[in-house]
Amino acid sequence: MAKRKRVVAKSKGVVAESERLLSSVWGLIVWLVGILVSLAVGSGMTAGILTVMYVPDVVTMAAGWIVVILTILGVVLKIIDLFTE
């Protein structure tokens, strides 16, 4: 009976570990997609392809640059955070 309990406990640990791995991979995918979307939108705004109605083009271009710069800064800070853990 005790052996069976250990096997069940061990299998629960394996399932929990695989769920953590899947969660980490999913988090990485979502993070990368967010970065790509932010860079695409920011680049479109700076190039003048994406515009906002009733907002001057200069303001839209400045907002695009802010999006691009903050996205790059976020990536750099995340990389620094990963190496300092």
Q: Is the pLDDT of residue 34 over 60?
A: yes
The pTM of the full predicted model, rounded to 2 decimals, is 0.75
Cα separation, 37 vs 43, in Å, equals 10
- Per cent of the chain over pLDDT 90 is 67
Domain coverage including residue 48? 2-83
Number of structural domains (the chain) is: 1
CA-nearest of 82, 46, 76 to 63 is 46
What per-residue confidence (pLDDT) applies to 13? 66
* Contact present, 65 and 42 (Cβ < 8 Å): yes
